[in-house]
Structure 1
Amino acid sequence: MRSYQRSSPQALALVEDHDETLAAACRSVVQRSCWAGWACLETPLPAVPGVEHDWQAAQLAQGPLRFVARNQYKPGRAPQGETLTLLAHPDWSDQHLEDEPQIVACRLLEALAQTLPPGTALPRVGRLGAHRWRFAHPEHSTINAPAPDGDYRVTAAGLALCGDAWRGPRIEDAWLSGHHLGLALAAPHAQPTAPGDSHDL
């Protein structure tokens, strides 16, 4: 049984006493949960036939696990060794929302182990944990919504909202939403550049 979280409650608490338009926008968003696990392994993951040894990320369609990232391949992180981010499917996260973090972390790591070829074991785990994000996935992305709604919300009173709720679940979506809102707010105050002036350094 799905347990959708109706609305963006953290933003709603900020605006509902001041702007009903923004409050209604918050209430209209359906947020899904996400369990995010992490694991530090003592040695690298075993090689998988047919897969490059330095693969950086993988998406999975079945089971609890939907996404795996190998963080040591991100810029500047090679010295940290094999460290994994393990993101659960929204349905699974909703169903296990109140589980203990350590139990969830073990389940996600077990799901990863089951993707390996038979007889292949995961390395010894140094550290393991999980964090529950109750409001992680907006159910309906507005990435292609036309202006003025777009990927942020702003009212004539000067109050505005931005974030992943208005665009999509990735951290990049949250950043782009804020960037676009910043451009929109700054546009009315932009000063024309005089001929010959330059701000390029």
Structure 2
Amino acid sequence: MKIAIVGSGLSGLACADQLVAAGHRVRLFDKARGPGGRMSTRRLDTAVGQVSFDHGAQYFTARDQAFQTLVKQWQDSGTAARWPGAGPEAWVGVPAMNAPIKALSARHDVTWSLRIDSLVKKDNRWQLESDDQTIEDVFDIVILAIPAEQAADLLASWDKDFLAVAANTASAPCWTLMLAFADSLQTEKITVRDDVVIGWAARNSSKPGRTGPDSWVIQASPDWSQEHLEDSQGEVVSLLSSRFADLLGVALPDPLVASAHRWRYARSGKTDQNALYNKDFSIGVCGDWLIGPRVECAWLSGTALAKMIFA
């Protein structure tokens, strides 16, 4: 079969891996400029060299046996390593969080920088429509591997039950602050957790394989992010920088980089299903939001959907 997957984060790529291994032809579409999804990495040039920030997921765990096998392959290939600074179960991509996603996407047919705006059924096959580009291909099956809110938009005309699941599984937002300094901050702390304003902060440059100046990723709590969702980037940089300095107990020097990124769909929800598949409409849905807010859950959901299609 010829299968389209909308979204090429870990969930979509996990599903694609299984489908291609079974002999199906898969094409993926993603509105981002490159691989990463919530495992994205941002690189910026500074006066003292390039600095990178894992401004999405900070680390991942591997508890499922099959996922452990995959992570071991990533470790053997040098694209993942343990990060003791976040705990004994923590893994990160090397040299950046998106390294495993880049490796997975490299073996698939992925079209980047293309937003899918609607789905059309013609002669019992699927056509994808975009305001930016004409997509000539037609597909036997379409899979949505995107956040619940975005999946709901595309499901509206096709499966009311799936639409209800997606519409009732909201994601929590997250403002993320990225700071870099010419000289390392005078603190022994690697992470800061569970503050009412800052849910997580980490010395990104302490992760294995990182180079460049001292860099920090500071992620606001879901409640604070929701309260300040429409604040300007400048306001968020100022407020989170001040709180971060208070929590560390240090005065922050002038930063090389001070930038904020707003994730509208950051921390996923959770349902009682691993994936969704309607064989009559030939449409499927996968994503971490179906299982829980962990990187591993995205892989589990994509793999589960592929098995549903096989069945």
Fold-level match, TM-score > 0.5? Answer: yes
TM-score for the superposition, normalised by structure 1: 0.71
**Aligned: 1:133 with 2:259:** no
- Whether the 8 Å contact between 2:180 and 2:214 is mirrored in structure 1 is yes
In structure 1, the gaps of 5 or more residues are 1-6, 48-52, 189-201
Task: Indicate the RMSD between aligned Cα atoms, in angstroms.
Answer: 2.2
1:170-198 deviation digits (Å, cap 9, x = unpaired): 4443333323333x24653xxxxxxxxxx
**Aligned: 1:66 with 2:66:** no
* CA shift for structure 1 position 73: 2.0
Aligned position for 2:220: 88
TM-score for the superposition, normalised by structure 2: 0.48
Aligned position for 2:239: 107
- Whether the 8 Å contact between 2:149 and 2:170 is mirrored in structure 1 is no
Percent of matched pairs sharing the same residue: 31
In structure 2, the gaps of 5 or more residues are 1-146
SS in 1 for 2:171: strand
SS in 2 for 1:109: helix
Q: Partners in 1 of 2:184 and 2:248 — Cα distance? A: 14
Q: Partners in 2 of 1:57 and 1:180 — Cα distance? A: 33
Q: Partners in 1 of 2:223 and 2:231 — Cα distance? A: 14
Q: Partners in 2 of 1:37 and 1:175 — Cα distance? A: 27
1:141-195 deviation digits (Å, cap 9, x = unpaired): 34xx4xxx2x32222333221113212334443333323333x24653xxxxxxx
Q: Partners in 1 of 2:185 and 2:285 — Cα distance? A: 41
* CA shift for structure 1 position 124: 2.9
SS in 2 for 1:97: coil
Aligned position for 1:39: 179
**Aligned: 1:162 with 2:286:** yes
* CA shift for structure 1 position 38: 0.9
16-25 or 162-171: which moved more? 162-171
**Aligned: 1:13 with 2:146:** no
> Aligned AA for 1:152?
A
> Aligned AA for 1:61?
D
Q: Partners in 2 of 1:23 and 1:34 — Cα distance? A: 24
> Aligned AA for 1:115?
L
> Aligned AA for 2:298?
A
Q: Partners in 2 of 1:38 and 1:96 — Cα distance? A: 17
Q: Partners in 2 of 1:180 and 1:83 — Cα distance? A: 37
1:21-45 deviation digits (Å, cap 9, x = unpaired): 2111111112221111111122112
Q: Partners in 2 of 1:175 and 1:56 — Cα distance? A: 28
Larger radius of gyration: 1
Aligned position for 1:153: 276
